[in-house]
Amino acid sequence: MDTFNDKVVWITGASSGIGEAIALAFAKEGAKLVLTARREEELQRVKQLSGLPDVSVLVLPLDVTQFDKAQGAAEQVIAHFGRIDIMVHNAGVSQRSYVNDTALDVYQKLMNVNFFSTVALTKAVLPYMVKQKSGHFIVISSVAGKIGTIMRSGYNAAKHALHGFYDSLRAEGYKDNIKVTTICPGYIRTNISLNAMDASGSKFGKMDSNQAKGIPAEECARRILEAVKKDKKEIYIGGLKEVAAIYVKRFLPNLLFDQVRKNIPE
């Protein structure tokens, strides 16, 4: 894909962080935007920042865990723009709690937000992409989708699940020109740790020091768009430490496991 001009791009989790940065990056390339998150006022703010005319932006508030609303939301996008070219699955929530302390319903919430919501929206969008014989899913996973770490068991599990599901979809969709790019960010400078769930499902409310020193969301978004243009299947975005850990696990797994168990989150 050489250009995003006039492409219809639907972004979940578009009200802040990586999602907001992706929306603004696509806007600069002339795309038409569908902005989804729970907070409509924040979506309106992102719409204003995009600088796009009203006809080129659809603000579509949605709680992505209300799976029964996915089909209706997709129909709204089609009614407004007539097509969906790119679906960015960015909505997500992290975790900061030990397995022994974490309530089962917290794990269910983590899976609903980070995994099942993407499945529900994908199933709503996919028939339109198959009909138009084109489409691209951008799936925001994480380095946590490759490596299990302390106090993030449910988040890790959900991100691992994304890889299995979308690797399958990439293969199944090939004949219909359906593409998938899976993104594995490391430490990106967002509020993800502040909004993470603790053992009871409440907000963790603390900024991880590594997160605070992470790559700017705008740089992350730039790399994502470049990867999509080149039809990359999977990319890693982060500092040397977290990206190197993926390769250490592949070639020296015991060394990686030893390092993980010693790395207690701050």
Rounded average pLDDT over 252-260 = 84
Q: What is the pLDDT of residue 1?
A: 58
Q: What is the pLDDT of residue 2?
A: 64
**In the block, residue with structure tokens 């996915």:** 70
Residue 266 has pLDDT above 60, yes or no: no
Mean pLDDT taken over the chain: 94
Q: Is 155 a catalytic residue?
A: yes
Q: What is the pLDDT of residue 205?
A: 85
Q: What is the pLDDT of residues 180-197, one digit of tens each?
A: 999 999 999 998 889 899
Split at pLDDT 50, 70, 90, the class of 245 is confident
Q: What is the pLDDT of residue 265?
A: 56
**In the block, residue with structure tokens 């799936």:** 139
Helix, strand, coil % in the chain, rounded to nearest 5 = 50, 15, 30
Residue 211 has pLDDT above 80, yes or no: no
The pTM of this model reads 0.94
**Secondary element (H or E) of residue 49:** helix 40-50
Task: Please give the Cα distance from 145 to 155 (Å, whole number).
Answer: 8
Rounded average pLDDT over 188-214 = 87
**Where does residue 88 fall: left (phi above 0), alpha (psi -120 to 50 degrees), or beta otherwise?**
beta
Delineate the domains of the chain, giving CATH numbers in brackets. Answer: 8-262 (3.40.50.720)
Q: What are residue 181's phi and psi, to 5 degrees?
A: -120, 120
Q: What is the pLDDT of residue 6?
A: 96
Which of the residues 98, 107, 128, 155 is marked catalytic?
155
Q: What is the pLDDT of residue 214?
A: 86
Q: What is the pLDDT of residues 11-64, one digit of tens each?
A: 999 999 999 999 999 999 999 999 999 999 999 999 999 999 999 999 999 999
**Where does residue 238 fall: left (phi above 0), alpha (psi -120 to 50 degrees), or beta otherwise?**
left
Q: What is the pLDDT of residue 107?
A: 98
